[in-house]
Structure 1
Amino acid sequence: MTGRRKLAINRLRSNPQLDQAAAERFLARHTFPIIEGVKATFAVRVDDVDAVYLRHRVQGLPGDLALRRLPGTTVWWVVVEIPSSSRVEYQFESRRGDHWHRFNDPGNPHLARSPVGDSSVCFGDGYRTPSWSEPDPEARPGELVAWELRSVAQRRTNRVTLYLPARFRETTRYPLLVVHDGADYLEYAQMKTVLDNLIHSLDLAETVVAFTDPGERLTEYPNNAAHARWIAHELVPTLEERLPLAGRPSGRCLMGSSFGGVASLSVAHRNPGYFGSLLVQSGSFVFTDIGDDHGEDPAFDPVVAFVNRFRARPRRVVERMFVSCGVYEPLITPNRSMLNTFREAGIEVDYVESRDGHSWPSWRDRLRDGLSWIYPGPSTFVYE
């Protein structure tokens, strides 16, 4: 490697005095993973185990990346190529006999939160958390209002959190954004902060946002008639009756990620032309071209049936659609495949990929791209 500096782990390995103390000094001296160009070194001390693995959800990498033990120590390591500007979530898993234990990286202070738990995060060289996702003291805060509405279609009372922009006025007409999995977008994608900042910077028109949440997500989101009726025939008309909203398709947008993306498309499909746009992130657009084996959990059966029908008879259910997806998630292939289907239906599509996976921070990082394309500020053309 003439003219190239050795990786830190290789300098340690070539140390003739390598022992447990030297390995622990190495761990104490670095924050992990160590990023050196496109190489990321993962290392961890695990006592009295037979094997250690790096667990991740990066499409294209083996799912069981085995770490190697430094001779004469209890420190394990592996080097992985992580392209620049990437963001990768991971955990370690150790095995002792038949006992397995999964845990976050003790040498990494960066954690990603989600409804299913925390995980460690590796930031590739050049990745930066968007400044507009962090609190800006100059941005005037909007207001979150808790609201309830009885749904006849779903036979229950639904809770909705409304976001009203900072300078909300009864004399102004606002576009409406309806967000599936709203509590998760607020909690794990910092969406209120994002809305405040983007409106302040004039990247986003002043917008009223309805954050909604399902009862049984896997049942209600894949092309469910009661869910579609709740959104299009109960929620939106009531909001337009009570608030100064645009009240026309160009001022109505549905948004969701994963199954929420399928829900957004299916609600629009059941009500073609009622919504002007969709904002879909990592939509679970699983389909089959032949046979019935889609390779996913049975919960995807109604999704596959809906997407297969849509692909067979594409419809222009909205005028515009923003789609984003991470290149490290398995859904990247079906999302890419759906682009031509949407365009063939006559829908204007804006598409963005990122070096990330199926995660809330990934969806957060694409919010400015999507929101500013759907409702660009300070223009009012979207609903006038």
Structure 2
Amino acid sequence: MTLPTPYPVARHRGKLAVNVLRSRGQITPEDVDHFLAEHDVPIVEGSKCTFLYRGEVDAVAVRHRIVNQPQHVPMKRIEGTDLWYCTIELPAHSRVEYSLESRVGHAVESFNDPLNPQVAHSPVGSSSVLHSAGYATPEWVLPQPDARPGELLDYDLHSRALRRTTHNRIYLPARFRGSSHYPLLVVHDGDDYLNYSSMKTVLDNIVHDLDMAETIVVFSNPGDRLKEYPNFAAHARHLTHELLPAIEAELPVVPRPEARCLMGASFGGVASLSTAFRNPGVWGNLFLQSGSFVFTDIGSDHGGGPAFDPVVRFMNRYRERPVRVTDRMMITCGVYEPLIVPNRSMVPVFESTGTQVRYVESRDGHSWENWRDRLRDGLSWIFPGPQKLVYE
């Protein structure tokens, strides 16, 4: 059998692979088979990223999550074939989650890209992932054979403040000793960080690599997070006056603000900030990822729906009278998410209080893998290693 002539990009400088295919004239199903076998999908050629779909449908489109860009991008059908394509331009080091949407008659279906094995997971499902030129999954998010694993323990604590039993997990570093003393990190949405951001693996690796001090980590989990996280007094009371004393009574953590950190993403970032705000002098560090710091300058229409009402009230009051709630603050956010504007806006507000702020942006969106990829930067800055003896 004679195979179709291959068409690598190098033979057609300046011409995208899909356009090389289109220029061949009459294209057979075997041509399409060979083309798909020769290319990873989406096809990344410099800043150009080409999405493909093969199937008999009336229309198909890419739905991505890049703010300020058309998020529904129709594909075009290559004449005489069942192959569809569209090309978007992305800067280097970008990571974008997306799905495909097809239409047959009046029936519309959304699904992950069947030609792309890269998938990211979250509490609400999964998405296909595009890695643009220059992006690589950090090696420290993958298990390292020489990194000794820490221990993860279940820890339930009844909360009078929240009127429920809280379900937590405690991470003890691999070389944990009861005779030593450790800084304490409390993480909102703890199980989600463990399940979708590989946080236990990251901790094992960066502690082993001496990027981060050996640290005791409490992975806290909410009940109704939309109620408990946006400046909820009972939540702040639980963390500071129930969970913290219980951990200090049972584990050798350093009982000083500089050795404590609250961490959270999205609404968890608001919960971390408001807890520190309500308990000044207790939490010396905050690690806030894509915090939902929505506020209004004029009027009351914030566009976030009723769930954001308490957030906006809290942020508006804080912006009117900013106070120092912590000594050091690490903030990360993706430039492709709508929250990039409020996060950028809050940095000078926090700095105006005398707080030491480190702010990091990434070419990513509002996603658990974005937050995963920023963990080493944040944790090694909050509790740099090896520094355990500093706290004893």
Corresponding residue of 1:32: 41
Q: Are 2:106 and 1:98 aligned?
A: yes
Q: How does 1:88-127 map to 2 (within 5 A)?
A: 88-127=96-135
Q: State the shift of 1:160 in Å.
A: 1.0
Aligned to 1:185: 193
3-state secondary structure, aligned to 1:222: coil
Query: Partner of 2:7 in structure 1?
Result: none
What's the secondary structure of 2:97's corresponding residue?
strand
The one-letter amino acid paired with 1:307 is M
- Name the CA shift for 1:88/1:233 in 2 (closer, same or farther; >3 Å): same
Q: Is the 8 A contact 2:75 2:85 kept in 1?
A: yes
- Of 228-237 and 21-30, deviating more is 21-30
- The answer to whether the aligner puts 1:44 opposite 2:80 as a matched pair is no
| Structure 1 unaligned blocks of 5 or more | none
| Aligned AA (1:54) | V
Give the Å deviation of 1:75: 1.3
**In structure 2, what is the Cα distance between the partners aligned to 1:3 and 1:189?**
40
For residues 364 and 258 of structure 1, what CA distance do their matches in structure 2 show?
13
Report deviation, 1:17. 2.1
Partner of 2:268: 260
Q: Which residue pairs with 1:135 in the alignment?
A: 143
Q: What's the counterpart of residue 166 of structure 1? A: 174
Tell me the C-alpha RMSD between the 2 structures. 1.5
Q: 2: distance between equivalents of 1:6 and 1:265?
A: 50
CA deviation after TM superposition for structure 1 residue 76, in Å: 0.8
Quick one: which amino acid aligns to residue 118 of structure 1?
Answer: S
The one of 297, 319, 323 equivalent to 2:327 is: 319
The percent of aligned pairs where both chains have the same amino acid is 60
Cα separation, partners in 2 of 1:382 and 1:99, compared to 1, 3 Å: farther
1:213 maps to which residue? Answer: 221
Counterpart residue type for residue 161 of structure 1: R
Give the Cα–Cα distance (whole angstroms) in 2 for the partners of residues 380 and 29 of structure 1: 51
2:184 — aligned with what?
Answer: 176
Q: Following superposition of structure 1 onto structure 2, how do residues 3-82 of structure 1 map, counting pairs within 5 Å? A: 4-47=13-56, 49-82=57-90
**Per-residue deviation, 1:382:** 6.3
In 2, Cα distance between equivalents of 1:23 and 1:170: 63
* Equivalent pair of 2:194/2:200 in contact (CA under 8 Å): yes
Deviates more, 1:20-29 or 1:92-101: 20-29
Deviations 1:187-208 (A, max 9, x none): 0000001001111010000000
Structure 2 distance, partners of 1:225, 1:383, is 30
Aligned counterparts, 1:235-274, within 5 A: 235-274=243-282
- Is the contact made by 1:86 and 1:127 (CA closer than 8 Å) also made in structure 2? yes
> Which one of 191, 203, 211 corresponds to residue 195 of structure 1?
203
Shift of 1:30: 2.0
| Aligned twin of 1:290 | 298
Does the 8 Å contact 1:251/1:382 carry over to 2? Answer: no
Q: Are positions 1:348 and 2:356 aligned together? A: yes
Alignment CA distance shift 1:155-1:382 (3 Å): farther
Give TM-score scaled by structure 2 length.
0.95
Secondary structure of the 1:52 match is strand
Measure the CA separation in 1 of the matches of 2:246 and 2:45. 55
Partners of 1:276 and 1:320 within 8 A in 2? yes
Query: Could you tell me which of 217, 222, 226 is aligned with 2:234?
Result: 226
Specify the code of the residue in structure 2 equivalent to 1:43.
L
| SS of 2:147 mapped into structure 1 | coil
Aligned residues: 383
Q: TM-score normalized by structure 1?
A: 0.97
Q: Give the Cα separation in 2 of the matches to 1:91 and 1:24.
A: 22
State the 1:4 CA deviation. Answer: 3.0
Runs of 4+ in 1 over 6 A off after TM superposition: none
Question: Deviation string for 1:272-321 (max 9, x for gaps)?
Answer: 11100000000000110010000112111111111111111111010000
Structure 2 Cα separation of the partners of residues 82 and 165 of structure 1? 39
Give unpaired runs (5+ residues) of structure 2: 1-10
